[in-house]
Structure 1
Amino acid sequence: MSTIKGLVFDLDGVITDTAERHFLAWQRIADGLGISIDREWNERLKGISRTESLELILAEAPTLILDAAGKTQLLDEKNAHYLELIAEITAADILPGIPELLEAAKEGGCRMAIASASKNAPIILARLGLSDTFDSVIDPDALTHNKPHPEIFEKAAQALGLRADECIGFEDSLAGIEGIKRAGMPAVAIGIPTFGQWIPDIEVDATRELDLKKIFSQLAMKERVEG
């Protein structure tokens, strides 16, 4: 295994948990269309883009036909609702264990990037007081493919000036884990109960369990065993 020099993080569910706010914003859109979605259904939207999320919701009402302008209007409305909901986010909303992990990474000289499908990542990071913590925030609008394609993780490594195998990816979605592994990065899965084809290198139940020294040690041990 190459020496790890960079860390690549998803945002929602890894750095902070805005999932409930996303759900409430999408639920408001769905309600306006006469579509019912609950929190369990909302799990389908985890890790995918805003446009893909809207298409999944619209698929619940196959007789509802919207043109491109109608869909764009709904996407703008959802984002407006979401921005209202995140207006009160503060550093107190950073998930447990993440401040310590970021500090350990900084002290160890690791470069760090955000690889999130959220177009609002810079706004959220600013509200969390973390804008200066990350060396790069990948713009999802500049990507050709969404997760689970590895593009966003490949771009993150490139932005850090590193190879993919010199970075560790942190994700809380199956789509994200697949993208990390396809990019050639070691993957840390957070709070994912089951896996399919793409198995992470390290699993934790919650962010509070993340410890950078232990992660490095586990990855080194894994390589020795597999080597």
Structure 2
Amino acid sequence: MIKGFIFDLDGVITDTAELHFLAWKKLADEMSWLFNREVNEKLRGVSRMDSINIIREHNNATVDEHKLLELAAMKNDIYVASLDTMTEDDYLPGARELLTHLRQEGFLVALGSASKNSTKVLKQLDATKYFDVIGDGNSVSKSKPAPDIFLFGADKLGLKPEECIVYEDAEAGVDAANTGGFYSVGIGPEERVGYADLRFDSMKEATLFAVKNHFEELF
């Protein structure tokens, strides 16, 4: 029986993807590195340090570890400053309604995000009240596609992976959910999240009713 839900943050609850893109772009421009939306797509669901290495490799750049940490911190400062512009109006359509519905029906809910700024984002959205557990980039050492962040969330909820449904918008996140033994709901195009157990084009379609209807035997 499904007792809990675990959500990625960016691209599922809210869309900070553009803020991330602009922050990476500003950093790349300062380094005279090539960075565009195609490269940015490879960063979806990936940790900050893995992201900076993807950008570095794309530019065939040699950068020592200390400098990489410095660049990652610079990008984070740019991004965090931009979060102050977020409000309660920045939920993705359908996300707040789903979280409210889950609360009403008594399901346990955890966040499973690679972002180390999740607490700030949730505060800006006034969304902390919907979550029993916050799992983020500070919670585990291995980022997606390793399943650690979802296993962390399930453990803190007191549930087994097979008792949880994960909502993800990234290929790495769907892979992490599937590897960890969770049921997965992909948000986005077939080519990105087609390996999920169930896929929707947007959060607006990914209602509790639709999920229950698909996983009928689990409820």
Pairwise CA distance, 1:71: 1.1
Q: Which of the two has higher C-alpha Rg?
A: 1
- Runs of at least 5 residues in structure 2 that lack an aligned partner in the other structure: none
The structure 1 residue matched to 2:157, chosen from 155, 160, 174, is 160
Pairwise CA distance, 1:73: 1.1
Query: What does residue range 135-214 of structure 1 map to in structure 2 within 5 Å?
Result: 135-194=132-191, 199-214=195-210
| Corresponding letter in the other structure for 1:11 | L
Give the aligned partner of residue 28 of structure 1.
26
Give the aligned partner of residue 68 of structure 1.
65
Structure-2 separation of matches of 1:43 and 1:164: 28
Q: Does the aligned pair in 2 maintain the 1:11–1:115 contact within 8 Å?
A: yes
Q: Does the aligned pair in 2 maintain the 1:149–1:179 contact within 8 Å?
A: yes
- Paired residue secondary structure (2:141): coil
Give the aligned partner of residue 217 of structure 1.
213
Structure-2 separation of matches of 1:195 and 1:173: 7
The structure 2 residue matched to 1:5, chosen from 3, 6, 18, is 3
Q: Deviations over 1:181-216 (max 9, x none)?
A: 1111110000133158x7211110011112102211
- Runs of at least 5 residues in structure 1 that lack an aligned partner in the other structure: none
| Corresponding letter in the other structure for 1:55 | N
Q: Does the aligned pair in 1 maintain the 2:147–2:179 contact within 8 Å?
A: yes
The structure 1 residue matched to 2:52, chosen from 25, 44, 54, is 54
Query: What does residue range 76-91 of structure 1 map to in structure 2 within 5 Å?
Result: 76-91=73-88
Pairwise CA distance, 1:77: 0.5
TM-score, reference length from structure 2? 0.95
Structure-2 separation of matches of 1:55 and 1:73: 13
Q: Deviations over 1:47-99 (max 9, x none)?
A: 1000000001111232x332222111111110010012111101100010111
Structure-2 separation of matches of 1:82 and 1:15: 18
Residue-pair matches, total: 218
Give the aligned partner of residue 124 of structure 1.
121
Query: What does residue range 36-51 of structure 1 map to in structure 2 within 5 Å?
Result: 36-51=34-49
Tell me: CA distance 1:43–1:195, structure 2 relative to 1, closer, same or farther (3 Å): closer
| Corresponding letter in the other structure for 1:115 | G
* Most deviating of 41-50 and 134-143: 134-143
Structure-2 separation of matches of 1:6 and 1:175: 21
Structure-1 separation of matches of 2:112 and 2:201: 21
Pairwise CA distance, 1:146: 1.1
Give the percent of matched residue pairs that are identical in Structure 1 and Structure 2. 37
